[in-house]
A and B are shown apart, each in its own frame.
Chain A
Amino acid sequence: MTANQQSNEGPTVKHRHRVEGPEKHIVVFIFSIVLTAIAFAAVAAGGINTAFTIILLLVMAVLQVFVQMGYWMHLKDKGHLMPILFMIGGFFVASTCIVMALFWVWW
């Protein structure tokens, strides 16, 4: 295939491609709502140990981000090695910034 030239990688044999239904995505949506609700409830209720609340918030957030990026953004599907590698790279550098902010700005 030459660069700068379009090509059609579609099937040459005419058969129907099964397009996935919305079920998995709706499950992800409901899961996200539940995680969000737990996070909000933990804070609204008050009276829960602060350190535990913080960890809970982070876990809820990370879980939600994982499923949204995996399913809605198709990272779990094949052909996404480079996107995964570069998102990991981005999150890694971002996490060094967070460590900087938490430990090495005030003393």
Chain B
Amino acid sequence: MNDSADRVLEVENLKTHFFTRKGVVEAVAGVSFSLDRGRILGLVGESGAGKSITGFSILGLIDPPGRIVDGQIRFMGENLLDKSEAQLEKIRGNRISMVFQDPQTSLDPVFTVGYQIIETLRIHRSMSTAEGRQRAVALLRMVGIPSPENRLDEYPHQFSGGMRQRVIIAIAMATDPELIIADEPTTALDVTIQAQVLTLMRRLVLDKGTAMILITHDIALVGQFCDTICVMYAGRLVERGSKTQVIRTPSHPYTQGLIGSIPGSQSRRKRLQQIPGMMPNLVDMPEGCPFLDRCSLKDAECTTRPHLAEIAPGHFVACHRRRVP
């Protein structure tokens, strides 16, 4: 894991704030993690935890009133925050691709599927349309779309949700990127189709040695799919570690609550362990632990903000009262 040649991404103390009329929203407030070749990292948290904004920040897709105010994003050793928009355009969609949640809206309805795949290849690989077409057929075949030669000339509305997400994966893989950021890629799909898309993505990523960030709210999914798990809460990383560490020995009270509140893992018809309250408003966050109001372990120390501390090799937790269950 320490071989720097394999290091694809290093995010350090990333802070992305949104300057709204109601105040400064600290959507991402100091997030750090790193990712190696061929590894899958899961960013998990509830809506509003800042996981998607972290993904957008890496891609340089933060628009005003949002701004990255601090931190570094080193991709293959280079800080993306120092790059101009023109330089970023050469990286985005080429060396870093993205798979978004909604397969309905991330394809353009007025162009054929083939056109949209070939466009990527024309721009980033300077391929001719004929070459691109050949490659597009191969890509559609790779993601398991039957009779790709014919389907290339069809429009997105002629594809089902699962098939559209396969097309998007084909576009994302078209340029052999070093990093894929998948933001809730299967949330809009049915479970049996979700299983197909996940199996496909995992095969492709492991096969090509691509690094991947999976952004999701489903902790059971990251537990199976990812190597490393980062748990986000209110714009902060509250726990980071290998999947076994985070799932089997969750050490932040929020992670413990999340895992405990999953039904099905406990005896039936009993009350579920629940986390009281809800996530605080990200505008003008109070000093102290962001989880303070909902925590059952809080004490006087928790009014100062906890930082990530290593409690076992590779296992980091931001909690003053961290305990190993």
| A and B physically associate | no
Write the residues of chain A forming the contact surface with B, with a CB cutoff of 8 angstroms: none
Write the residues of chain B forming the contact surface with A, with a CB cutoff of 8 angstroms: none
